[in-house]
Amino acid sequence: MIERIRTRISDLLQIRYPIMQAGMIWASGYKLAVACAEAEILGTIGSAGMNQELFRSQIRKAKALTKRRFAVNIPLLRADAAELLEIALAEGIEVIITSAGNPAVLGPRVRKAPGVLWIHVVPSVKHGLKAQDAGADIVVGEGFEAGGHNGVDEITTLALIPQLADALSVPVAAAGGIADGRGFLAAMALGAEGISVGTRFACTQESSSHPNYKQAVAAANDAATVLFAKRIAPVRAIRNPWVERVRQAEASGATREELEKVYGHSHSRKGILEGDVEEGELEAGQSCGLIRDVPKAAEVVRRFVEEYERDLDRIRRFQP
Ligand SMILES: Cc1cc2nc3c(=O)[nH]c(=O)nc-3n(C[C@H](O)[C@H](O)[C@H](O)COP(=O)(O)O)c2cc1C
């Protein structure tokens, strides 16, 4: 197996392979972050869904289990995003991943923290330039295929990544639709210097998602997910009766207020953490058709690298 894959991203993050396990609500607690850090990629604790106390205790649990660096994800839509950042910095976290909001909100504070790396997730070139201007070290471009909340412009990973790589001078990582070594290799061919992977890691043994959620992802095919709730906050999840009710309300021209009522609260908790596959929001990406099992996170990393190497070799053989 390739000893290491060196890019600006793996150098900055001091990891063996430029693979980042994305922060995921209800799915990426300390166990997954530690497993990924120990596999020498970037592990991430997702703060979404955690109150401040739980977030602090998750960081401390991870620190007790690994000497390696790991990241935290802070969605900027959280009213207490600034407080979460202070907790992370006070606990000695050196890699901050922000998403779902204006990078200028926390950027200046992150930049003031010595030695801290800042990664921001964007759905378009316009947002990527904003993140770069705000001082982000790495920009993650997240395409339309991705699981979870998504941009409104619906730009695919295939189209977004080369355009971001052309527009930015900071290194770009690709997210959305990447679940195996072929996706990894393709992302690097598009100009990315690393990948950020959600759904594949949500369906591992160390993920805090419910076994029913993992089973649903492993059973899903290419067409199982849909991007919906576009007038509230676009999100990609596996179709189920609750998703269909929200979509019907959208199609029938419901007002935003009516839609919010049908969309309700806490469906992501219900689906991902509690395992209600009928009424919960099973956030997952289009790549779930590639996912057939629930391995350990380290095995996922091993496969990513082995397949990357195999497919690089396969493509080289196309040469005359
Ligand atoms: C179950 C699940 C929960 C997610 N929760 C978050 C989150 O809390 N914050 C965030 O920035 N992105 C979240 N995402 C998006 C991921 O961070 C990542 O960008 C995305 O999953 C990449 O696409 P992929 O699912 O095709 O790998 C979530 C994704 C999934 C699948």
Question: The domain that contains 18 carries what CATH number?
Answer: 3.20.20.70
Contacts of 28-33 with C-beta under 8 Å, sequence gap 24+, read 28/73, 28/201, 28/202, 28/207, 28/208, 29/58, 29/208, 30/58, 30/59, 30/61, 30/62, 30/65, 31/206, 31/207, 31/208, 32/201, 32/204, 32/206, 32/207, 32/208, 32/297, 33/62, 33/70, 33/71
Judge whether 2 lies within some domain.
no
pLDDT of residue 143: 98
Q: 33 and 121 share a domain?
A: yes
> Which pLDDT belongs to residue 1?
87
The verdict on 48 and 127 lying in the same domain is yes
Closest CA to 126 of 163, 97, 100: 163
- With contact defined as beta carbons under 8 Å apart, do 255 and 232 qualify? no
> Does residue 105 form part of some domain?
yes
User: Cα-flanking dihedrals φ and ψ of residue 197, to 5°?
Assistant: -120, 125
Q: Whose CA is nearest to atom 5 of ligand 1?
A: 24
Q: Quote the pLDDT of residue 11.
A: 98
Q: Measured from the CB, is residue 97 less than 6 Å from ligand 1?
A: no
In a domain, 319, yes or no: no
Counting the structural domains of the chain, the total is 2
Let me know whether 140 and 203 are in one domain: yes
> Is residue 320 included in any domain, yes or no?
no
- Both 158 and 230 in a single domain? no
Q: Is residue 1 part of a domain?
A: no
Mean pLDDT of residues grouped by 10 in the chain (320 residues)? 96 98 98 98 98 98 98 96 98 97 94 97 98 97 97 96 98 98 98 98 98 98 96 95 96 92 94 98 98 98 98 90
Domain match, 180 and 272 both: no
Residue 181 lies in a domain: yes
Q: Is there a single domain that holds both residue 163 and residue 62?
A: yes
Task: Establish whether residue 75 lines the binding site of ligand 1, counting it when its CB lies within 6 angstroms of any ligand atom.
Answer: yes
To the nearest 10 degrees (0 to 180), the angle between helices 181-189 and 157-167 is 40
20 CB near ligand 1 (under 6 Å): no
Asked whether 48 lines ligand 1 (CB < 6 A), one says yes
- Are 98 and 12 part of one and the same domain? yes
Indicate whether 67 and 138 sit together in one domain: yes
pLDDT of residue 320: 72
Q: Is the C-beta atom of 175 inside 6 A of ligand 1?
A: yes
- Is residue 300 in a domain? yes
User: What is the pTM (predicted TM-score) of this model?
Assistant: 0.98
Shared domain for 235 and 134, answered yes or no, is no
Residue 256, sorted as left (phi over 0), alpha (psi -120 to 50) or beta, turns out to be alpha
Whether residues 138 and 250 share a domain: the answer is: no
* Ligand 1 atom index nearest CA of 145: 26
Q: Are residues 26 and 146 in the same domain?
A: yes
Q: Is the CB of 196 under 6 A from ligand 1?
A: yes
| Pair (259, 304) in one structural domain | no
Host domain of residue 240: 211-286
- The whole-number pLDDT of residue 150 equals 93
Mutation test residue for ligand 1: of 25, 204, 206, the one with most atoms within 8 Å of CB: 25
Residue 132 has what pLDDT? Answer: 98
